[in-house]
Amino acid sequence: MTSPLYNASGVMCRSVEDLEAMRASSSGALITKSCTLEPREGNPEPRYFVTPLGSINSMGLPNYGYQYYLDYAEKYDYANNKPLFISISGMSLADNLTIIKAFHERALPCILEVNLSCPNLPGKPQLGYDLPAAQHALEKICEFYDRPFGVKLPPYFDVSHFDQAAEVFNKFDLLKYVTCINSVGNGLVIDVDAESVVIKPKDGLGGLGGDYVLPTALANVREFVRRLPGKQVVGCGGVKSGREAFMHILAGATAVQVGSCLYEEGVGAFDRIAQELKDLMAAKGYQKLSDFRGKLKTL
């Protein structure tokens, strides 16, 4: 990657036009929308709302179905372009296995990321919070999938949960990275003037992003870096400038995804954030990311 920055799955990633805009941007990579077996329209509108401290959303996995993204991956110029990540979030384990087998049969050099953490599907629990079920899913995947892959994780809040999750993930050698974090699920934003919720799905409950989640995202990055030796951690959550990107890398992140800020600002955010990161590094006397990656001090 020429830059540590790229999009969070869910932003600038649903259509070929979105993905091509990402490919042409200064991001270091691109990732698709989490795909399901069949196309989905997602949850009813309004399902995304900007707040002074970030955003709340309940998108419900709107996507064009895995075949759409498989077709894009087959046409992608891997030799001359940035890494392509494919996010997968089937509605069942059987769906996930079908999708992953389709990519496995093509032997494409894209990198699969299995989403264990979608909080915005009514009636569907997050697999990342059911660790025995997550382990079973990873076991079934690794029965046939023989290439490196990653997982997108929900936020964890208890130290014991970091330990338990890491114990599961460390059992799988081909699980090479984790992305921390997906949105903090089931927040509620209220419009005082209207005396109403601000999004329609789930009676107003939705995933929080932006400033709301930065401390939680940083904690998850640092704690999984500590617990997953030999694996990479991708930071995601609350990145709107070079300072937050610096924080994620200082906590140990190999790369950093941008979500709410990218949604609001567009792909120009990558140029701005990258320059701010370079300026901050220069002010501190750092020439490369490895000079400070994972070197967060404690008191």
pLDDT recorded at residue 119: 74
Mean pLDDT of 237-250: 98
Instruction: Give dist(CA 140, CA 94) in Å, integer.
Output: 10
Our answer to whether residue 142 is catalytic in this structure is no
Strands of the 54-57 sheet, one edge to the other: 48-51, 54-57, 205-209, 184-188
Active-site residue (options: 35, 118, 180, 236): 118
Span 232-245, average pLDDT: 98
pLDDT band at 227 (very low <50, low <70, confident <90, very high): very high
Distance, first Cα to last Cα, the chain:
33
From CA 191, how far away is CA 176, in angstroms rounded?
42
pLDDT tens-digit readout, 83-112: 999 999 999 999 999 999 999 999 999 999
Q: Residue 142: what residue type? A: C
pLDDT at 254 over 90: yes
Rg (Cα) of the chain, in Å, rounded? 18
Mean pLDDT for the stretch of residues 263-284: 98
User: In whole angstroms, what is the distance from residue 246 CA to residue 122 CA?
Assistant: 35
In whole angstroms, what is the distance from residue 248 CA to residue 115 CA?
A: 20
pLDDT digits (tens, 9 = 90+) for 167-214: 999 999 999 999 999 999 999 999 999 999 999 999 999 999 999 999
The torsion angles phi and psi of 85, rounded to 5 degrees, stand at -105, 140
Q: State pLDDT tens for residues 11-22.
A: 999 999 999 999
Instruction: Enumerate residues 6+ apart whose C-beta is below 8 A from 76.
Output: 84, 108, 110
Cα separation, 218 vs 214, in Å, equals 6
pLDDT, averaged across the chain: 97
| Phi/psi of residue 141, nearest 5 degrees | -65, -45
User: Burial letters for 88-103: b for 16+ Cβ neighbours within 10 Å, e otherwise?
Assistant: bbbeeeebbbebbeeb
pTM of the model: 0.97
The band of 118, judged by pLDDT with boundaries at 50, 70 and 90, is: confident
Q: Is the pLDDT of residue 124 over 90?
A: no
Torsion 288-297-231-128 (CA) sign = negative
pLDDT tens-place string over residues 24-72: 999 999 999 999 999 999 999 999 999 999 999 999 999 999 999 999 9
| Segment holding 264, helix H or strand E | helix 260-265
Cα–Cα dist 198/43, whole Å: 14
Q: Which two tokens mark 229?
A: 């030796």
Predicted local confidence at residue 267, as pLDDT = 98
pLDDT > 90 fraction of the chain, expressed in percent and rounded? 97
Q: Any idea what the Cα angle at residue 258 is, between residues 205 and 10, rounded to 5°? A: 50
Instruction: Specify the pLDDT at position 122.
Output: 77
Question: What does the pLDDT read at residue 232?
Answer: 98
Name all domains of the chain by residue range, CATH numbers in brackets.
5-42+60-184+210-291 (3.20.20.70)
Cα–Cα dist 24/211, whole Å = 27
Q: Identify which of 145, 189, 251 has the alpha carbon closest to the alpha carbon of residue 55.
A: 189
Using CB atoms within 10 Å of the CB of residue 194, give its burial: 0 to 12 exposed, 13 to 18 middle, 19+ buried: exposed
